[in-house]
Amino acid sequence: MSDGQTTAELPALEGTTAVIENWLRVLGEGDVEAACQARDELIRHSKRRMEALCRRMFFNSLSARPVDVDDVYQESALRLWKSLSAVQPGSAKDFFGLAAQQIRRVLIDFARKYAHSLPVALGDGQTPAFDPASLEIWTRFHEEVETLPEDLKEVVELLWYHELTQEEAAGLLDVDKSTVKRRWRRARTQLVLRLHGCI
């Protein structure tokens, strides 16, 4: 895992946050028709970021897949839309976290569904194009992120899943950059230890 200071492949955050915050306010006002429109608009305005996020979170090491990234996005967007009828994110940070959670759960569900049913396809005659071990590691990674303490999980979601800079994450979390760096370091350490069965 990198330090979160990469050149983001996701669409720029600038401007997106303000639009999302506005529709979150509409969502929380209690008007049923307006809330339905707000859910639609939240999905629409986050579409590019969610699609890019799906690509980033997808199993890049696997070349033989029963689903593609569009399947992951469509299912994730549907689950996010349904979640917004029951959950009221209090901020753009919470909305981004909810979006990452839905994508993560879709990936876990797909991995569990297909892990034992896919044949190993030999790509070049020597190296398996589909590696069940890699799929298992990715699945465990997403599962372990789910169980991190909330302050560490939200940093992983913002820096690793959403590819924000540490400065952007600090702004959304209303903490200083040093706090983000410290939480990011702790999160990475815990994930490595958990994936290696040390804790």
pLDDT digits (tens, 9 = 90+) for 52-85: 888 777 654 444 456 678 888 999 999 999 999 8
Q: How many domains does the chain have?
A: 1
Closest among 51, 62, 80, 56 to 4, alpha carbons compared? 56
Q: Which domain holds residue 133?
A: 50-147
* pLDDT at residue 123, as a whole number: 47
* pLDDT for 154: 93
Judge whether 169 lies within some domain.
no
What SS3 class is residue 51?
helix
Predicted TM-score (pTM) of this structure: 0.72
Q: What integer pLDDT is reported at residue 122 of this predicted model?
A: 43
At residue 2, the pLDDT reads 47
pLDDT of residue 179: 97
* Domain presence at residue 132: yes
The answer to whether residue 64 sits within a structural domain is yes
Does some domain include residue 141?
yes
Assess if residue 175 is contained within a domain. Answer: no
Q: What is the pLDDT of residue 128?
A: 46
Residue 177 lies in a domain: no
Interval 152-164: pLDDT, tens = 999 998 888 887 8
Query: For residue 136, is it within any domain?
Result: yes
Residue 192 lies in a domain: no
Give pLDDT < 50 ranges for the chain.
2, 4-8, 60-64, 120-124, 126-129
How far, in Å, CA of 42 to CA of 139, rounded? 27
Q: How far apart are CA 151 and CA 199, in angstroms?
A: 19
DSSP 129: S
Beta carbons of 58 and 69 less than 8 angstroms apart: yes
